[in-house]
Chains A and B, each alone.
Chain A
Amino acid sequence: MTGPTAPAAPADAAGGTARPTPRARRVRLLPGFEGRMMAPGLLLLAALSIVPFLAIIVMSLARVRLLGGVGLDWVGVDNWKRFFTDPDLGWIWVRTGVYFTLTVGLEMLLGLGLALAVWRLARGRNAALTLLLLPMFAAPVIVGLLGRFLTDSTFGLYTWLLRQVGYDGDILGSKASAFTAVVLMDVWEWTPLVTLIALAGLTSIPASVREAAAIDGAGGWSMLVHIILPSISNVLLVALLIRSMDAIRYFDVIWATTGGGPADATKTVPVRLYETAFRFFDLGYAAAIGLAMLAASIVVARAFIRVLDREGLTR
């Protein structure tokens, strides 16, 4: 890293001449003060992120052996060729996209609705918010196990309730209902996070703005569309970004409930990645899938950040 040229100020402070010396004008090889301060963080980041990232790139070009220490047999772009010709992977990406759209979309809609409802509460707002937030504190794998018990056809509460209203199918037994169930489990867990973020935005809207709009004759819908939503659009975008990053790598609930079935109906890219890496120990191919997943995450994140940037919210 190249540091900035040395400023003249230290020379002044030392009682020397104000003109920069030829030595001071030279570009420093060592990092400056800011660089030195950032160095520990950068080194840690390198150790935790950059080195593994480079290792994964290397692994994606090799066949990984485990016995007697990790070894790599170079296979060139074979793993990538396989990635682009894998007959199952295309559908898995499509399924992941549908899943992503449904979970994030529902969470945003429900989260906003719940936030508005809680915001309007005159009494018991804290109690309602506490109850609403509870699912968020459960580990995703616990949500999966809970979902599996609740939908179990022998003793599941939801199964029993659905039977009372005439639904005789098995929730995790058919493709559509299993997919719906895992989507709803994620929505159940993470809608409260969107609610919380949206509520933070709502409480920051100045009362004077709402009062002015009301005096101007804005009704409930107009107030929502023209005053409230524009006021909290920045925090909603942040919520969308957070949930999107999370939804792309969603794994625990699916693995704990359906394992990707029935008939691969709930197999998303993270599930396939896990299988490839830790069931088949095909670490080279898993590295290729993982890098593709990383690229997809970056594309989504960049899209949202660009929107935030356009709104001037990243500064």
Chain B
Amino acid sequence: MEFGTGKGKGVKIFSYIVLALFALCCIIPLLNIIMISFTDSSSIDTYGYSLFPKVLTLEAYELLFENPTTIVDAYGVTLFVTIVGTFLAVLIGVQFAYGLSRKNYVLRNQSSFYLYFTMLFSGGTVPIYILVTQYLGLKNSLWALILPYIVTPYNIFLIRTFIQGLPDTVFEAAKIDGAGEYTILYKMVYPMCKGGIATVTLFYLLSFWNAWYPCLLYINKSKLYTLQYMLHVLMGKIETLNMEVANGMAVNYFQQLPEDSLRMATCLVAIGPLIVAFPFFQKYFVRGIAVGAVKG
């Protein structure tokens, strides 16, 4: 696309400025967290939060890793849930999407509706909780953070759209060669839909990594807390304690609470891997959104 040259320049500059400002808005909150986590707590007290702290210190991180079991445990749990969850989700999701995309599959429309209906209708938190804890016995099990969440209809429809985008001739040729459906899926569709699958993988990674609500529901052992849930708990602790003091009985119950910088350090540690992993997926991701979007 070529635009008129004369006025185009002004528009380009304008675009750069606006986009740069927006990009800045997206990044500053992260920088805030990074900087505060390195700020000396007395400096926070005097000057407040600042992007350019007067005194830099590693204190918060030293504190954080002084007794690393909690954070290491939380990392382990989060990694396990994220990796296993994503793997299973992508494995079964792509298979299902493949089935949905096969025009000759007799249950195609029914399956589509079968899955779609769950996007609209749910039994509510309590019935699911009863099922997971009492019938499946998954309370305080990491599987409770994985199994109920490995099917996301939106993602499956996204992959379906990708697979539908492949030329039919590919499948026909494979059929003539006598390839079974599994062979077609794993030998041909996977390599051809790399971008789409990478996109959806990233979606799943994100949702498993960022989830704190399942942990609130199913986990009450601190050893099995996920990182996000740990952050959530850190945030709520103060209010809780005040409530106990007010309701009377917390006298002589003193608990050290984290300084601001420590809290932000924990936050950063929790989102760190995402920031690192993101650029690897970015290439596929942008393309993935593009393809998914064309067909809604």
Q: Do A and B bind each other?
A: no
- Residues on B facing A (Cβ under 8 Å): none
